[in-house]
């Protein structure tokens, strides 16, 4: 069985803690590798390497750092198939989904090629008599990121690409469930020209996370995961004087107005609700049709589409709509929430509990589920399921539908499907959610805008990627300079005035 490593100072390094996590093949249920779990001492070693490498990298001009990003993009495109296959093998998502995972991270790297422009400061000539004023954006130093299992390529690149483009060193603590792709990305960054120690991958669990939070040299922390852990890291990290951005869970609503194109809405819900087995923080997990007639028409459109979904291993190619969930524990949790929905009175219109894939009986596959007549007090509405489960909550009016999204404690993303521009405009203006889709089910902004939710979906003042990333990974220094004039009346230079 393969024993994975850490990646420190340009080398693959075996773990020394003696602790390991199992890395599964989700399609078969078999353990395919062991992932080392770093000790506090191992994390401290990585920090030492990063601290030694960062000053020289921070002194490299932004244009040269941008060239490293350009080469990294070329290498990502070169190795796209290899990265996607490794990602699918450990995560379980289909190859098209895996390539999309890499591609969305690559697009942030492309944005970081603009570092020379994005890092420019401001200048005011003659702010006062003989006084000039200017600002500089300077790197923080050693930065770190803690990333989730569901996007093992995209989210690490969302963090380390802008951090490194800004002149920082970066320590990545990826999910121990699918760590191979982050290790491959670190290799590619060095091949692209990043110095040793600038990007390091340290695998681990809570001990490694706490070591990041508490290490005095680490200046900033990025996190994506569940809300309870986001709150924990944010609170403890801020109390240690670090700059912290943490992104938590989601419960994304999609409002379907009576005038919506019902075929378009149904197609959107199937893709957004069941793609990647629902293991996406931007997945639509709650459909909110306005009016019983709209709800009945929507359910009628959804059922045949959902029943035709093909579930299988990534090795089946393009013939599969989604694959297994990541672990047996994840499968057990999802099915437990499905059962709670049945017990609490929701109508299970499509029941995927008995799904069984011949030849893959031990895999972590779950059939698609569709609930109707869900109410806001039910567990399947309150909790993030993170699986192929779509809940339908019927709203009597537009205002009731809007209030559902506004009252939920999560505020990551939401969408409205309608032909009415006034309703769409009102919804976008009023709803207290960070990312809004208008006839777009998964409103993830492109790399040159910022990504981030509201309420208990996000903690911190700045979002991920886009302009906010360059603010998060730099400090602003403002200089006020006064140069006494040495010019006499008539234009003659007076050297004594400069003494």
What whole-number distance in Å separates Cα of residue 227 and Cα of residue 382?
Answer: 13
Closest of 369, 471, 499 to residue 118, by C-alpha: 471
Three-class secondary structure of residue 321 per DSSP: coil
CA distances from 164 to 54, 55, 160, 341 (A): 9, 12, 6, 45
Q: At what angle do helices 262-274 and 292-307 cross, to 10 degrees?
A: 50
Give the C-alpha separation, 385 to 381, whole Å.
9
* Element housing 131 (H / E): strand 131-139
Write the DSSP assignment of 421-476 as a string of letters. Answer: HHHHHHHHHH---SEEEES-SS-PPPTTS-B--EETTEESSS-BSTHHHHHHTEEE
Q: Any alpha helices (H) in 275-369, and if so which ranges?
A: 292-307, 328-343
User: What's the burial of 300, exposed, middle or buried (CB within 10 Å: 0-12/13-18/19+)?
Assistant: exposed
Q: Please give the C-alpha separations between residue 294 and each of 254, 263, 284, 370, in angstroms, as whole numbers.
A: 13, 12, 18, 16
Q: In Å, what is the CA distance from 327 to each residue of 32, 246, 324?
A: 13, 24, 8
CA angle 482, 486, 488 (to 5 degrees): 135
112 is catalytic: no
Task: Name the residues annotated as catalytic.
Answer: 281
């Amino acid at each position: 069985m393969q024993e994975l490593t850490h990646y420190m100072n340009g080398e693959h390094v075996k773990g020394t803690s003696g602790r390991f996590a199992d890395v599964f093949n989700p399609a078969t249920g078999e353990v395919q590798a062991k992932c080392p779990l770093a000790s506090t001492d191992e994390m401290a070693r990585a920090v030492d390497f990063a601290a030694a490498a960062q000053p020289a990298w921070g002194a490299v001009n932004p244009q040269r750092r941008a060239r490293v990003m350009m080469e990294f993009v070329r290498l990502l495109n070169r190795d796209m198939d290899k990265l996607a296959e490794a990602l699918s093998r450990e995560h379980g998502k289909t190859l098209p989904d895996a390539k999309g995972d890499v591609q969305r991270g690559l697009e942030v790297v492309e944005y970081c090629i603009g570092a020379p422009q994005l890092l420019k400061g401001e200048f005011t000539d003659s702010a006062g008599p003989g006084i000039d004023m200017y600002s500089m954006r300077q790197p923080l130093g050693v930065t770190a990121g803690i990333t989730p299992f569901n996007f093992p390529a995209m989210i690490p690149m969302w963090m380390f690409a802008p951090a490194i483009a800004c002149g920082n060193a970066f320590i990545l603590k990826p999910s121990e469930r699918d760590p191979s792709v982050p290790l491959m990305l670190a290799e590619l960054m060095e091949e692209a020209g990043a110095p040793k120690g600038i990007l390091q991958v340290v695998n681990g669990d809570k001990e490694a996370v706490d070591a990041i939070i508490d290490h005095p040299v680490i200046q900033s922390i990025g996190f994506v995961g569940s809300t309870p852990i986001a709150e924990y890291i944010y609170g403890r990290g801020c109390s240690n004087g670090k700059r912290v951005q943490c992104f938590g869970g989601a419960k994304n609503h999609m409002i379907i107005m009576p005038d919506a194109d019902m075929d378009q809405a149904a197609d959107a819900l199937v893709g957004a609700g069941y793609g990647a087995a629902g293991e996406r923080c931007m997945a639509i997990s709650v459909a909110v049709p306005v009016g019983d007639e709209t709800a009945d028409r929507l359910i009628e459109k959804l059922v045949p589409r959902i029943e035709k979904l093909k579930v299988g291993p990534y090795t089946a190619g393009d013939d599969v709509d989604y694959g297994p969930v990541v672990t047996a524990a994840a499968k057990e949790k999802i099915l437990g929430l499905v059962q709670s929905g049945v017990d609490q009175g929701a109508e299970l219109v499509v029941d995927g509990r008995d799904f069984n894939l011949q030849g893959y009986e031990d895999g972590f596959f779950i059939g698609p589920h569709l609930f109707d007549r869900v109410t806001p007090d039910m567990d399947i509405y309150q909790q993030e399921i993170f699986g192929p489960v779509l809940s339908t909550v019927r709203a009597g009016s537009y205002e009731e539908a809007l209030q559902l999204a506004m009252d939920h404690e999560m505020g990551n993303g939401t969408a409205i499907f309608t032909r009415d521009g006034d309703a769409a405009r009102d919804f976008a203006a009023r709803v207290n959610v960070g990312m809004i889709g208008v006839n777009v089910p998964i409103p993830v902004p492109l790399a040159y805008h910022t990504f981030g939710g509201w309420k208990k979906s996000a903690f911190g003042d700045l979002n991920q990627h886009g302009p906010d990333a360059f603010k998060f990974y730099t400090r602003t220094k403002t200089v006020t300079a006064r140069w006494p004039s040495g010019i006499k009346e008539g234009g003659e230079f007076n050297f004594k005035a400069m003494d």
